[in-house]
Structure 1
Amino acid sequence: MTSTIETPSTHTTAAFAERLFTAVLATIDVQAAYLGGRLGWYRALAGGDALTSSELARRCGTAERYTREWLEQQAVTGVLTCDDAPDTAGRRYTLPPGHAEVLVDELSPNHVLPLARFIAAAGKQLDALAEAYRTGGGVSWAQHGADLREAQAAANRPMFLGALGESYLPAIPDVDAALRSGARAADVGCGHGWSAIGIALAYPYATVDGYDLDAPSIEAARRNAAEAGVGDRVRFHHSTPAATAGPYDVVFAFEVVHDLPDPVTVLASMRALAGPSGTVVVMDERVADEFTAPGDEIERLMYGYSLLCCLADGMAHPPSAATGTVMRADRLRDYARRAGFGDVEVLDIADDFFRFYRLTGEAS
């Protein structure tokens, strides 16, 4: 992924018209990818078979005419390849293996389809978002529903089941050692549970308690833990963690602090859960340290998430800190100090999208 920043010399009518037109084409590709994932078309093609529109429609239980139009669009836009049969009905379409990994391999770091699903799902609430923008109200994750929730969980799943336990947590020596020796860990705002499950898979002696206020997410997390074979060491709770649940050796919050309407109170509760000897680790977005316009692709992506989801979710629960996705390091430091921590250390863990923080000490 590149990080191109426009220069003022590109600020012409023609250049911007071309940019917006290109964005329209990309948006069409995103919507088409959403349909391909939701209707099972990509997965049916991922086996390597070259299928006609009728064959794909039968496999997926879809109407042939719609299936054919989608196949033709996907071939025209370069996602699928097809033969040159003159008979439209007999034309066969193939999903290249490299594209299949991006579209159907749920554990691959290159599995980008969930991001397309997220953007398409968020678009369903544009009327509600416009009303919230007018009134100062909000649109909650619950209002967005299963599509957005599942897309978010799927987007982070490869990292949580891979790099988190394989390289990120081992890069924090004391946390790694504690987990290896059977630490108790808490995962605050656990969602579908992949972070807690990833920790348990990487550290066979650790136990993890996941907490979340979204009931459907907790139900999914329990299913996921059972299917992963760690249901005996990972427990999920539809609640905030009570002070009596601690002390924990490690308390985590993975990509959740910026969503919280009251981050200071939650961070204070995490501090209490860790007690005097536990460790608090926060993972959140790797945004720039300061606002700069124009920004790079990561900054553009995070502002997009904020516009379509995160800011409106935070504001759906007043009174709200109204953080939004673009929570810079200094803002987290402010929240942490108000929660009673003395300092926030940025950990030396390289990830394109996420930054890891250790919250330490007591406020003076």
Structure 2
Amino acid sequence: MDINENKLNTLLGKMVTEMGAAAIGPLIIIGDTLGIYKAMEATGSATSTELSKASGVNERYLREWLSAHAASGYIEYNDTDEKFTLTPEQAFVFSNPDSPVLMTGAYYAISSMYHDVPTMQKAFKSGEGVSWGDHHSCLFCGTEKFFRPSYATNLVQTWLPALDGVVEKLQKGAKVADVGCGHAASTMIMAKAFPNSEFIGFDFHQGSIDHAALHAKESGLDNISFQLATAKDFPGHDYDLVTFFDCLHDMGDPEGACAHTVKALKPDGSCMIVEPFANDTLKDNINPVSRAFYSFSTLLCTPSSMSQEVGLALGAQAGEKRLSEVALKGGFNHFRRATETPFNLILEARL
């Protein structure tokens, strides 16, 4: 076998970089849960000893944690005074709760994927699905933490206004079903923004419904409720808006979900489908964002669909064309891309 050493070394260099990225994942979770990023943001430039006092974390562990972050380019290090700094840009990614690009939540979900390797090995051999609720519990809080920043930044400000006449209905008082609501980040953001409207979150995972109901109660919102239901049997026939946030591709029968939604909507109602951004062909999805989405899709989205009826397994990179086919087969007459972000397609389906 002839080996091209230049190609081999390039690949090895890439793999070493990826090993570092994989290994620092648990450190990011530790930094988030123990408030280390917050302490760095509050103290400015500081030594490991100063940060240890500020964060309440053992200095020796913290020094190694800081070194790994500095070597990753995630924080700055000054070898003159041995101080570490979290820049404003880095804080936007690691510690600012109002940032649309806060990324720490993704690592909780990623950690669940490592826990689930034995389960997925069996699925790869058998071809059977793995239901959402059968994954490691880190997945559920991680999914909420990952999606919430983008929803908080975009949902009320740009996504809903991109739909035809929906904001006006919500302001006056509308009835909304948030299907596949999970921990209900999306449901609660809408309920808080539009107090005259009624919001009902539906999910087929009891644990997520319980968490969502508790969170809503703690928030004091009285225009929101939650029920255990699937996308093909959620109750009600008079909705002004039905939403699917990053979940339609996870469903075993997304066409059936669309068909049920058509029946549940008022004649002038709207359906908003938020999906991971994707082009329509694999060759156009060979990029870093799709790489992450394909990986999540392999271990979470596709097995979830395959565990259900039909098991269409759209995957997280279905693309607008395929999603349009699903919606139109489900009975919608109109389908369009309302808006987009680098990470999401916001699609509108109407009767």
What is the TM-score with the length of structure 1 in the denominator? Answer: 0.84
- 1:232: which partner in 2? 222
Question: Does residue 40 of structure 2 align to residue 45 of structure 1?
Answer: yes
Distance in 2 of aligned mates of 1:306 and 1:168: 24
1:239-272 superposed Cα distances (whole Å, 9 cap, x missing partner)? 2375652211111111110001121222221111
Say whether the 8 Å CA contact 2:111–2:138 is kept in structure 1. no
Distance (Å, rounded) in 2 between the aligned partners of 1:360 and 1:95:
46
In structure 2, runs of 5+ residues without a counterpart are: 1-5
Partner of 2:344: 354
Q: Map 1:5-154 onto structure 2 (within 5 A).
A: 12-48=7-43, 65-82=60-77, 84=79, 93-154=84-145
- Higher normalized strand content (fraction of residues): 2
- CA contact 1:34–1:120 (8 Å) conserved in 2: no
CA-based RMSD = 2.7
Listed one character per residue, the Cα deviations across residues 12-45 of structure 1 (whole Å, up to 9, x for unaligned) are 3333333222222222333432332234332333
Q: Does 1:266 align with 2:257?
A: yes
Post-superposition CA distance 1:122-171 (Å, at most 9, x none)? 22222222221122123333232331111111111122223111121112
Aligned length: 345
Alignment CA distance shift 1:350-1:293 (3 Å): closer
Contact 1:103 1:112 in 2 (8 A): yes
- Whether the 8 Å contact between 1:48 and 1:95 is mirrored in structure 2 is no
Secondary structure in structure 1 of the residue aligned to 2:348: strand
Indicate yes or no: 2:286 matched with 1:291: no
Distance in 1 separating the partners of 2:37 and 2:99: 15
SS of corresponding position for 1:173: coil
1:245 aligns with 2:250: no
Conserved? CA contact 1:243–1:272, under 8 Å: no
- Give the whole-Å Cα distance in 1 for the aligned partners of 2:119 and 2:147: 26
Residue 325 (str. 1) matches residue 316 (str. 2): yes
- Distance in 1 between residues matched to 2:74 and 2:282, nearest whole Å: 36
The one-letter code sitting in structure 2 at the alignment partner of 1:271 is: V
Q: Is the 8 A contact 1:48 1:97 kept in 2?
A: no
Contact 1:349 1:355 in 2 (8 A): yes
Distance 1:139 1:182, change over 3 A: same
Aligned pair in 2 of structure 1 residues 341, 233: CA closer, same or farther (>3 Å)? same
Shift of 1:53: 5.2
Q: Which moved more, 1:18-27 or 1:253-262?
A: 18-27
Deviations 1:175-216 (A, max 9, x none): 122112111111111111111122223323221111111222
- 1:98-140 superposed Cα distances (whole Å, 9 cap, x missing partner): 3223112222112111223322332222222222112212333
| In 2, Cα distance between equivalents of 1:266 and 1:294 | 26
Identity %: 28
Letter in 2 for 1:348: A
